[in-house]
């Protein structure tokens, strides 16, 4: 596992284990042996995405600020995002690398980046989003049939 992937997973672990609200990867504390054991147990709840997870899929994305959007991942590595009710559109790109879906999304005002980590038990996955390279929000993404 790359150090970048491990830092992102630690970031999600701290958020999802309710230890902290949200930390930037540069602010992650050192773990004691008990926390390390909890982290390894938490990792068992995650899995790698496969290309089949991305085919013909629509996703519903929610963030900790309450925004809800629909994502459409296209086979050519592009994506469209629509606000769920007003249908405002943004465009971006995605790629699957080392079991993680990486997304970069462009709006008129901002660039958003996040990496989606798969949940083993349900098709509700998680990510930490950066807006213009600054920590922005904790995300939940649910796969729906397209």
Task: Give per-residue pLDDT as tens, 23-47.
Answer: 888 888 888 999 999 999 999 999 9
Considering only residues 90 and 88, tell me which one the structure prediction assigns the higher pLDDT.
90
**pLDDT number for residue 27:** 87
| Percent residues over pLDDT 70 in the chain | 97
| Percent residues over pLDDT 90 in the chain | 70
Cβ neighbours of residue 140 under 8 Å, at least 6 residues apart?
61, 62, 63, 124, 125, 126
Residue 118, number of CB atoms within 10 A of its CB = 21
Domains of the chain listed by start with CATH number: 3-46 (no CATH), 48-145 (2.40.128.20)
Res 3 pLDDT > 90: no
pTM given for the model? 0.92
Task: At 89, list the tokens.
Answer: 């559109």
Beta bridge partners of 128: 138
């Amino acid at each position: 596992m790359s150090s970048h992937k491990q830092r992102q997973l630690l970031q999600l672990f701290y958020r999802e284990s309710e230890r902290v609200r949200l930390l930037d990867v540069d602010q992650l504390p050192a773990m004691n042996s008990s926390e390390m054991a909890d982290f390894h147990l938490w990792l068992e709840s995650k899995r790698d995405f496969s290309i089949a997870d991305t085919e013909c899929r629509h996703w519903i994305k929610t963030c900790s600020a309450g925004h809800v959007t629909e994502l459409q991942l296209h086979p050519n590595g592009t994506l469209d995002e629509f606000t769920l009710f007003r249908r405002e559109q943004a465009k971006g790109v995605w790629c699957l690398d080392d079991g993680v879906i990486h997304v970069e999304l462009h709006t008129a005002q901002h660039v958003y980046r996040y990496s989606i980590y798969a949940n083993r038990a349900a098709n509700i996955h998680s990510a930490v989003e950066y807006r213009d390279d600054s920590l922005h929000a904790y995300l939940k993404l649910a796969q729906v049939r397209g």
